[in-house]
A = this chain, B = another copy of it.
Amino acid sequence: MKIRPLGDRVVIKRLEAEEKTKSGIVLTGTAKERPQEAEVVAVGPGGYVDGKEIKMEVTVGDKVLFSKYAGTEVKMDGEEYTILKQDDILAIVE
């Protein structure tokens, strides 16, 4: 079973939500804006979304920072995922 996101949506798998993440980034900021680290597991096709051209910049396997409260969580095969718009992804961690 697979989730294929529509438009400019992206499916990500959240990494550690602890203060000190695996990669060594300590996430700070207000609760509302505190970013989370995650791995991209599926990427929508982009294209014209709501009449605007959206080019997907992330690819499967990317480590990304995203806004904690963005998107919708689903659990599949025992794992939790988040479906969110690419614009809710702040940056790729390399």
Residues of A within 8 A of B (CB): 1-7, 9, 11, 23-29, 33-35, 42, 45, 47-55, 57-58, 65, 67, 72-77, 80, 83, 86-87, 89-94
A92 to B45, CA, bound (A): 12
A80 to B54, CA, bound (A): 30
Interface residues of A, dominant DSSP: strand
Asked if A26 and B75 make an inter-chain contact with CB atoms under 8 angstroms apart, the answer reads yes
Which chain B residue shows the least CB distance to A48? B53
Add 5 more A-B contacts to A3-B91, A9-B91, A25-B74 (CB < 8 A). A25-B76, A28-B73, A47-B55, A67-B72, A83-B90
Asked if A72 and B11 make an inter-chain contact with CB atoms under 8 angstroms apart, the answer reads no
A–B Cβ pairs within 8 angstroms, 17 of them? A1-B24, A2-B94, A3-B91, A3-B94, A4-B91, A5-B90, A6-B92, A9-B90, A9-B91, A26-B75, A28-B73, A33-B72, A48-B54, A51-B51, A52-B52, A65-B83, A83-B90
